[in-house]
Chains A and B, each alone.
Chain A
């Protein structure tokens, strides 16, 4: 996608709240944006590095919980020691969420080198489950199923406007959009760099990658940390927008949602998760009146299977392919016309 087209897309989304006043739809878009950021981060692991990481929701949730807890303050007793933290400003909490998620990523990255393929899938799923169960049971810290409530919204100092608290949807929308663009750009720079090449290399042919000096473990760990940190950022956004966080954020179904977004959109491409995210973020809302949620999920499941069977690369590469052959056909036709003329 050319620079111009990308800018046009961003401009479109920037302008959206100006002409689309339906608050409910704005809410849907914010949720979609948050999930899309998470999907982009998953794509870095699943698509580019080829790691079967199915515990991604763990990074999202860790980011959400950490950010929420740091902004609310907490005091908890563990093995006889009491840890107390006074509430901190939201921007600081948000960064803490990113750091904690990144740490979790580091752990998973290290483990993933020892444990490959199908085993790794299971480790990542188990990890997310363990984190969910901890969140559910460590009521002292997380309030368990009673959830963390009244999480403060984002408060930022903005030029010209001074310090503003994001109570309404519109500022949150722009916040999510800004983070989404930043995340996209981070991933793009990473992927189009030497490190990005190493990731693709280790996905395609690990022994060969090693033979030219690529440190596979290190590349994997770096990719996982970045991926986890971005997912953690998405989690933080979630925490301060929805302002309630409960252990259900760790449900496997959310990882599946992200996987569907990435795979259907096109794994290993930059725009794939964006397309997939928008599609599966907005679709449920359109289908809401037409079909029960169960039916929707059946449709998603079927879509997944159909895409894997017929468009295994996903939507974005397929469209790219069609556009390319269309371009070739058009060029061929105009050339033929010129010949005849």
Chain B
């Protein structure tokens, strides 16, 4: 299942500090094109913080993050997304006051090209673009299986479907690489299994995936590689099977007791 793809994301020795608290001490890992990499670790290990540092929501105190050789550190989150690195959030994050369809439409922001002048003067390309975007939105909703919910408000959706909508919004942003923060949390086994298939379909479309997850079945089931974090540092890295047997990993988890394996 592993690929010989070129290195896409390089996290090099980043550290993140909150006042006196060191959230991430010295983190380095990489993701290759076409991979599905899972970032796991006990709660508080620094996984979401790593996501925030990679995608510009936090500035690392030291170290660098590179994407296709280009510096990501120091960019603002919307600039990071502009390069094609899109992340989702651990806590359900949607445009609650909008319909499902509009949520995805907003997500398609990068696919649009309207300028202020064009908008105000109703230049010809504008209507064409709107039509195209709406078509794309419908496609994305189809893919995640939410087409039947298009006109409902995002806040009215059941939890599992809200998480699917989050994926849809992330996909709409046209990512080359998707960073998913605990996307399956709260899903029942059936939903999780369907979700795993969807992740693989996303990868088959050419999108590289970096995943933070607690559900071990999912992690072991779809990952090409697993990176294990504990207290802000990588303590193990490799194929899922070897990680499961790694004594360091087991020790780290026994401390917090969070396993589904």
Contacts and interface: CB of A to CB of B under 8 A. Distances in A.
Interface stretch (A20-28, A115-123, A194-202, A296-304): A194-202
B81 A205 contact: no
Contact of A212 (B96, B97, B106): B106
Interface residues of B, number: 36
B170 A214 contact: no
A213 B173 contact: yes
Contacts of A213: 78, 81-82, 86, 109-110, 173
A215 interface: yes
Interface of A: 186, 189-190, 193-195, 197-198, 200-201, 204-205, 207-216, 222, 226
Given A213-B82, A215-B78, A205 B109 contact: no
B98 A195 contact: no
B94 A210 contact: no
Given A200-B98, A212-B173, A193 B89 contact: no
Interface in B117-144: 119-120, 122, 126, 129, 133
Given A213-B110, A213-B173, A226-B116, 16 more contacts: A189-B122, A195-B114, A200-B97, A204-B96, A208-B95, A209-B106, A210-B76, A210-B81, A211-B88, A211-B89, A211-B173, A212-B106, A213-B86, A214-B78, A215-B76, A215-B78
Max chain A Cβ within 10 angstroms of own Cβ: one of B78, B94, B119: B78
A184 B106 CA distance: 23
Contact of B98 (A204, A212, A214, A222): A204
A208 B114 contact: no
B45 interface: no
Given A190-B119, A194-B109, A197-B102, A205 B114 contact: no
Contact of B89 (A195, A207, A215): A207
A167 to B, nearest CB: 32
B77 interface: yes
Nearest to B105: A197
A215 B243 CA distance: 40
Contact of A190 (B93, B109, B120, B129): B120
Contacts of A204: 95-98
A193 B109 CA distance: 11
Closest 9 CB pairs of A and B: A213-B81, A210-B77, A212-B173, A194-B112, A193-B119, A213-B110, A194-B114, A204-B95, A210-B78
B87 interface: yes
Contacts of A193: 114, 119, 126
Contacts of B170: 211-212
14 contacts: A190-B120, A194-B109, A195-B119, A197-B106, A200-B106, A204-B96, A208-B169, A209-B78, A209-B106, A211-B81, A211-B88, A212-B110, A213-B82, A214-B109
